[in-house]
Amino acid sequence: MANFNQKKREIECKIVYYGPGRGGKTTNLEYIFKAFKSHVTEDMVSINTEGDRTIFFDFLPVGLGKIKGCNVRVYLYTVPGQVQYSSTRKLVLKGVDGIVFVADSFEVRRDYNIHSLKDLSDNLKEHGKNIFQIPLVMQYNKRDLEDLVPLLSVDQMEKDLNNQLKVPSFPASAINGEGVGKTLKECLKLTLIALQKEFKWAEK
């Protein structure tokens, strides 16, 4: 359910980056913030939460097209994974339109990924949403560290995380910006298609 801001004639849609702590959600958003700097109207908000940082900013991507003559403003958030941050999580996930799940390719993080995805599914359920229906994109991050640390193969990660969901997935290296744009673009595409459907459906 995107917000329609009548004053600004904008549709506000909310994309949330989810995933295990230190998996690269923040790095993704920092890269996007830098890359889209000219479209970002306000500063990036960064809140230190235990083990992670929660980040927020919004921007108006050009070339996204309009829905019913309205610009689409995108709100990007990361969500703190720790159980204790329930109020923050509630606010961030309320009315979410699309999700990017950033998985950590480190072999030692395999279980964290699986747990975090399960968490996401539970949290969405609490907000009356279904992980199988919400626009969702997977990102397998930290591929650049292949030579330094044992990594999970992309196939293995697909099997672990995307076997049932079957959503678009991208290998990435958020620190260098590789795959970051692709991931967001795909997620925006899915989200906008879903919104288009929702708005047309509401018209009838």
Partner 1 sequence: MSNGASLTGDLKFLNLGEVLQLLGSNGSTGVLNVLSKYAQNPGVIYLEKGNPIDATDGSLKGIDGLYALFGWTDGKFEFKEQTITKKNTIKKSRMEIILEGLRMVDDGQIEILGAVSFKSKTPDGSEKSTHVPYIRGPLVDYMYVIDEEDFKDGDEIVKEGKHGGWIWVILDGTVEIIKETKKGRLNVIRIGEGSFVGSMSSFYSKSNVRSASAFAKGDVQLGMLDSQQLFSEFSNMTSDFKNIIKSIDNRLKLVTNRTSDFYIGKINLDEIISGKPAIKQGDNEDRLFSIAKGKASIVRNYEKIFIPLVDLAERDFIGNMPFLDMGHEPYSASVFASKDFKIKKLDTVELQREFENLSTTFKNLIENVATCITATTMVACEYYKKINKENTDKK
Considering the rule CB under 8 A, would residue 193 count as an interface residue with partner 1? no
Judged by beta carbon, residue 88 or residue 156, the one nearer partner 1 is 88
Contacts of 14 (CB under 8 A, 6+ apart): 2, 75, 77, 95, 96, 97, 98
Within residues 73-132, the interface with partner 1 by CB under 8 A covers 80, 84-88, 91, 94
Is there binding between residue 155 and partner 1 (CB under 8 A)?
Answer: no
- Span interacting with partner 1, options 49-57, 135-143, 146-154, 156-164, rule CB under 8 A: 49-57
Binding status of residue 47 toward partner 1 by CB under 8 A: yes
- Least Å distance, CB 116 to partner 1, is 18
Backbone angles phi, psi at 139, to 5 degrees: -130, 125
Contact between 173 and 179 under an 8 Å Cβ cutoff? The reply is yes
Q: From the CB of 127, what's the least distance to partner 1, in Å?
A: 13
Token pair in block for residue 83? 């159980």
Q: Is 139 in the site for partner 1 (CB under 8 A)?
A: no
The kind and range of the H/E element at 184 are helix 180-203
Provide, rounded to whole angstroms, the least separation between the CB of residue 76 and partner 1: 11
Minimum CB distance to partner 1 smaller for 53 or for 129: 53
Q: Is 49 in the site for partner 1 (CB under 8 A)?
A: yes
Report the nearest approach of partner 1 to the CB of residue 146 (Å).
35
Q: In the 3-class helix/strand/coil scheme, how is 65-132 assigned residue by residue?
A: CCECCEEEEEEEEECCCCCCCHHHHHHHHCCCCEEEEEEECEHHHHHHHHHHHHHHHHHHHHCCCCCC
CA pair distance 171, 166, nearest whole angstrom: 15
Angle, alpha carbons 196-201-204 (nearest 5°): 135
Closer CB to partner 1, residue 77 or residue 106?
77
> At residue 81, what is the residue type?
G
Q: Which is nearer to partner 1, 3 or 121 (CB)?
A: 3
- Contact residues for partner 1 (CB under 8 A)? 3, 5, 7, 12, 42-43, 45, 47-50, 54, 56, 80, 84-88, 91, 94
